[in-house]
Structure 1
């Protein structure tokens, strides 16, 4: 699918395909620690430092509305600077940010909105109640609020947020390690299509919703692909109980090929082999009918 998408844009041009329709752009695919990861001595990260493997930015997507010139980020990552550059440096007044939860790869990019960097004014940041309180009551994030660099927008579970006449967003709770805030996924809705974004979740069995039903109800599903399989890291993987890509593929195996193709895995740990297009794991994902998200990918809404 990655190659088909590239050919499509080469032949017809991204501007033609997305001139009018809102679309989602993938701005990063790595887990919170990035790729390469700090102090990693594994071959996967050594290859990046040696220039043999491309760096990958931390998991993030954006909605772009070409008509209104509005853009909304989903998560503010440590790679915020480069991700804004990928969006062609949007004007702060046209920018909004939706936060999923309070783990380091998902909100710490807010620091670049402060006086030490952008010094922005009233950028809307959408957050669930505990996430909102976490920012308001803990420095240095509270300074962003007091200096009005950001305007926190309270969102409620399952409530529909109408961004403009073309785009709506809905937050839904997912089980995860909620030390400082609740964790949510998002559903993005237009008149033509819908997309769900779940970068972080614990095992699917812990969720009170059926994943297969959710996938069938939307046009795209960007799902937590942190680890490919058990044994990928040295510590007990029960401490970070993300659903393995292999588990998710097995769970969704009964789906028709059309439904499987909606699934794009994202949020990969540096140890996950699917980030290497030449790996056996990457090939297996595609052979089974699923997709691997990639930086720069665009999904028409």
Structure 2
């Protein structure tokens, strides 16, 4: 049973999976989907997502910035806006909280130093942090202007997190990994670098018990 799906923003890899809930695949019944106001409008006004609503495959629950919502017994989510390319919707991260554990989820952000929140403090306050690791460095994306799709590289993040102690570094799992990112490849120098610095790399099928 799915208690809820939390959408961060309207970029391709973050909402297209909702289509798996539709008539052609799972044909679910009123799965709770948690979204910010502009994201709600985006889904309500663009096919084929409109069909998910018409057939009651999903039910949209509107969130507000920094307002916690309980999604099931002893588990709450708190969205918070982060700076990113907001072409179609807001962009948020989530704090997922139970009485046992706190998980920080920020898969997309333009930069850590361009945010008015101290990411290092958020990591310290969390038990697990899943953070933007789109690129290992800014040279890996060929034939594209990387400044047009800003993300902190993993190398930049490691430097930004350098004051964290060993315990806090181990909380950080880099996620949202682009296919050009060599940390995906076992035995690569990039992957070794991340691990040696005390950080971790998220993986497909990862399950976090809270």
Question: Deviation of residue 256 (structure 1)?
Answer: 0.8
Q: Identify the structure with bigger relative contact order (alpha carbons < 8 Å, sequence gap 6+).
A: 1
- Unaligned 5+ residue runs, structure 2? none
Distance 1:260 1:186 in 2: 19
2:93–2:107 CA contact under 8 A, matched in 1: yes
| 2:181 equivalent among 272, 287, 292 | 272
Structure 1 or 2, whichever has the larger Rg, is 1
CA deviation vs aligned residue, 1:98-151 (integer Å, no higher than 9, x gap): 111111111111112222222222111111000001111111211211222211
| 1:151 equivalent among 59, 62, 66 | 59
2:4–2:71 CA contact under 8 A, matched in 1: no
**Counterpart secondary structure, 2:19:** helix
Distance 1:122 1:298 in 2: 23
Q: Give the structure 2 partner of residue 237 of structure 1.
A: 146
Q: How many residues align?
A: 209
- Unaligned 5+ residue runs, structure 1? 1-69, 72-94
Answering whether residue 115 of structure 2 is matched by residue 212 of structure 1, we say: no
**Counterpart secondary structure, 1:300:** coil
Answering whether residue 162 of structure 2 is matched by residue 162 of structure 1, we say: no
**Counterpart secondary structure, 1:135:** helix
Distance 2:98 2:178 in 1: 31
Gap change, CA 1:114 and 1:297, over 3 Å in 2 = closer
